[in-house]
């Protein structure tokens, strides 16, 4: 049975947090809980969700500010690439005037890297290393739903910025080339903005077209 994929837009930067749930068991994976913890917790309560994991595509504060509060209320392991875990919960990750550095969650912090396969909520989640926006950026591919959660690596019509600390334009180009090799029909769920597909982006997105 397909998983339910629900997007919740959080915070003033309008970051997409995804709640991916198994309709039979209500086991739920939370991806990138950016902000608005009270609203996310209320939604999880309405869903009668059993949170089994928090998956982080990268460490930027607008993607993780709600994490500590959610993990306190709904304990589950947190999955994050070590290169981003090194600075994610430190003062290096504040956004002055908008966000303080995120609190470290009181939950197990588990590393992920290219080739890992996680069995969560009755589905398989494979990990693709996609650095460039941050050193430890990853995408999570959900099977059997054939969905890709791209964080801030690839958006509808554009790609992640590389002018923030740790950004690397050459690394991002390599990551985009990896994503462009995936099937055209594969849906993508980005960290900001609307969903798309790999094929649409290969046709309409300058950043993928420029790789040819």
Question: What are the pLDDT tens digits along the chain (212 aa)?
Answer: 689 999 999 999 999 999 999 999 999 999 999 999 999 999 999 999 999 999 999 999 999 999 999 999 999 999 999 999 999 999 999 988 889 999 999 999 999 999 999 999 999 999 999 999 999 999 999 998 789 999 999 999 999 999 988 999 999 999 999 999 999 999 999 999 999 999 999 999 999 988 86
> What is the spatial distance between Cα 86 and Cα 22, in angstroms, rounded to a whole number?
32
Domain locations along the chain? 4-209
> What is the spatial distance between Cα 175 and Cα 81, in angstroms, rounded to a whole number?
15
pLDDT (0 to 100) of residue 1: 67
Question: Quick check: 178 and 138 in contact, CB under 8 A?
Answer: no
Q: For the chain, what's the residue count?
A: 212
Please enumerate in sequence order all residues whose Cβ is within 8 A of that of 186, keeping only pairs 6 or more positions apart, or say none: 146, 147, 148, 197, 198, 199
Q: Which CATH architecture has domain 4-209?
A: 4-Layer Sandwich (3.60)
Question: Quick check: 43 and 23 in contact, CB under 8 A?
Answer: no
pLDDT (0 to 100) of residue 145: 74
Please enumerate in sequence order all residues whose Cβ is within 8 A of that of 97, keeping only pairs 6 or more positions apart, or say none: none
Cis peptide preceding 93, ω within 30 of 0: no
> What is the spatial distance between Cα 142 and Cα 150, in angstroms, rounded to a whole number?
11
pLDDT (0 to 100) of residue 144: 80
45's tokens? 């309560």
Q: What is the pTM of this model?
A: 0.97
């Amino acid at each position: 049975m397909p998983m339910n994929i629900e997007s919740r837009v959080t915070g003033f930067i309008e970051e997409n947090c995804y709640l991916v749930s198994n309709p039979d068991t209500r086991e739920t994976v939370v991806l990138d809980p950016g902000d608005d913890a009270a609203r996310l917790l209320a939604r999880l309560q309405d869903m009668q969700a059993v949170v089994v994991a928090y998956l982080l595509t990268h460490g930027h504060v607008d993607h993780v500010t709600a994490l500590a509060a959610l993990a306190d209320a709904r304990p589950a392991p947190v999955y994050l690439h070590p290169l981003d875990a090194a600075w994610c919960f430190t003062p290096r990750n504040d956004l002055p005037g908008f966000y303080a550095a995120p609190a470290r969650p009181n939950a197990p912090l588990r590393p992920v890297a290219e080739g890992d396969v996680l069995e969560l909520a009755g589905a398989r989640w494979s990990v693709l290393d996609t650095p460039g926006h941050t050193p430890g950026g990853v995408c999570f591919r959900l099977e059997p739903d054939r969905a890709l959660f791209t964080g801030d690596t690839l958006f509808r019509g554009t790609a992640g910025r590389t002018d923030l600390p740790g950004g690397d334009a050459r690394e991002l180009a390599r990551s985009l080339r990896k994503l462009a090799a995936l099937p055209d029909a594969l849906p993508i769920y980005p960290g900001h903005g609307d969903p798309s597909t790999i094929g649409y982006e290969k046709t309409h997105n300058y950043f993928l077209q420029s790789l040819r």
